[in-house]
Each structure stands twice: as C-alpha cells, then as structure tokens.
Chain A
C-alpha cells in the first residue's frame, strides 16, 4: 500500500519540489537561518501563503494582519473539506493530519484517484498526504540550503503544477462525464477574473458552488 501511495503521489513531487525550492531560495534572501524554511514547510504547509509570508516578513507586517491575510488567502480550503467529510473516517490523529495536509494538490489528487478495494481508504490517503508534505519540505529545505550552489536552470519547471491540474481535470472528466460542473467552473473563473482578479480562486469557487446549489434548488422545486 505504501508503494502504491508513493507511485500515485509522484506527480505531486514534480510540482512541490521545484516550487518548494523557489520558496527556499526567496526565503533565504531574508537572512534567517535555513531551517526556518523547513519549519514553515512542516507546520504551515501552504504554498501560496508561504510565498506571501516572505513579503510580510520583509515588510515587518503586524501579526493580526498576517493572521487575517493567511486566513483569507487559504479560505478556499474550507470548500475542499466538504468532499472528505465521510472519507477521512473517525476523529483521531490521522484525521487531524489529513485535514492539515489538504493543499490544492493533495485535494486535487485525492478527489480524483480510485482507491483499490483491498486498501483501507484513510490509510492510503494518509500515506499520499505524508509523501506530498515530504516533497514540499524537501523542496523548501533544498532551496534554502543550496541558495548559492544551485546551478541547474529550473526556469519553466513551475509548469508542472499546471500540468498536474490539467491531468486531473481530464481524469475528473473520465469519472464525472457530465459537462455542467466544468462549464460552471469555467464561467465562474471568467467572472472572478473579470471582477476580482486578486482573489480569483476564492471568488470563483464561491460563485461556482453558489450556482450549482441554486440550480439544484430550482430543479428540486420543479419536481
């Protein structure tokens, strides 16, 4: 099961390691000891928020502003949990960790894969989530440690994250086979881009969920 989880988590590695390295490199510019980059990867574990933190730290922003900005930036994750209310199992440490580990990438992967019948779902999820965070912490650490030595030209490697989401989009289509959620997602994205470009992700997710709830209620009242 661990081996299978490792194999299925590899696409996340291609996204997380380069992105983590990029974070580590930038973090190193602030002049703190390198292991704080790893620490952030371990206890904060949020890609976009960590990049945002670099700006905050160099500006010396207040703690309350930082807390609120982080909350707002990550609030899309509130909607991710809805898909896992049942499948994360009973309340225990494992569940608390699975919730902690829900980044865009793990959410995308876990909602798309089919867990083989012979595996305990929550454990399989746990291994994948652990591998994913390991890749992220590894990237953060490498970036911060090797800030001066790194010679490999990583330009363009950030495309791995886009490619991952494209792949999972195709897989979602194979699972779902209904055009509606994809159209709603696309239209919501365009609306959010047009009016709220700075908070595009959150706004698009809220519009799309509100729209399908609305459509569902109308359909329900007709029958």
Chain B
C-alpha cells in the first residue's frame, strides 16, 4: 500500500466513523413518539454541554502562572460585552483580542 492510498483510506474511514456517531441518535429515536424523559434530556443537554465545553477549554491551562490571570481577564471581558451589548461577535472579538495581547507581549 503506498502512502497516498493509506492517507485516502484513513480519510474515508474517519469520515464514516465520524458520520456514524452523528447519525446514531436519529436512527435510534424517531421523532413524534413523544417520550417525556427524552424531551427532558433534549432540553437540558444544551446548557449542560455548554458548561462542560467551557470547563473543557480551560482544563489545559497552567493554574500556577499568569495564564490564569489573563485567561480570566479575557473571559471577564467576553462576559462583560455579552451581558451589556448582547452582540456575540463583538464579545468574542474583544475577549480574543485581550487574550492575544497578553499572549504576545
């Protein structure tokens, strides 16, 4: 097997594997069959997942360095803009700019 064949096979296998994980719930559960517990899970999942994703993004931070300070400064700026301006793009750009400033100086 030459190198390009290997790459192509890997890409196809990864594509199928990834699609499979995303497809499973739609195959297992058909909409319309109202199940109150499933509805409840569907409603509660987004806030839980968002919380988990935020923690996940912060887990590799070095907690014993200035990184802690400027990461939380950048998050505070993001939250501040979002709470007062409700403009997602502005909040993200502002927070990221603050973070990049600290990282690059």
Which residues of A line the B interface, CB within 8 A?
10-11, 14-15, 32, 36, 39-40, 43-46, 49-50, 53, 56-57, 60, 63, 66-68, 70-71, 74-75, 77-86, 88, 95, 99-100, 102, 104, 107-108, 111-112, 153, 155-157, 159-173, 176, 178, 180-182, 184-186, 188-190, 192-193, 197, 200-201, 204-205, 208-209, 212-213, 216-217
Contacts and interface: CB of A to CB of B under 8 A. Distances in A.
Contacts of A156: 96, 99-104
Given A74-B17, A163-B95, A82 B48 contact: no
Interface of B: 3-4, 6-7, 9-26, 29-32, 37-38, 40-59, 71, 74-75, 78-79, 82-83, 88-89, 91-93, 95-96, 99-104
Nearest to A52: B14
Given A63-B10, A167-B91, 6 more contacts: A40-B14, A44-B18, A82-B38, A108-B53, A186-B55, A189-B52
B87 to A, nearest CB: 9
A212 to B, nearest CB: 5
Given A162-B57, A167-B92, A83 B14 contact: no
Given A108-B53, A156-B102, A173-B47, A82 B42 contact: yes
B9 A63 contact: yes
A213 B41 contact: yes
Contacts of B93: 14
Given A78-B21, A99-B22, A67 B13 contact: yes
24 contacts: A14-B89, A32-B4, A44-B15, A49-B18, A63-B13, A67-B14, A80-B49, A82-B42, A95-B26, A99-B22, A99-B23, A100-B19, A112-B46, A156-B96, A156-B99, A156-B103, A167-B92, A169-B47, A169-B51, A181-B51, A182-B47, A188-B48, A192-B52, A204-B55
B9 to A, nearest CB: 6
B59 A200 contact: yes
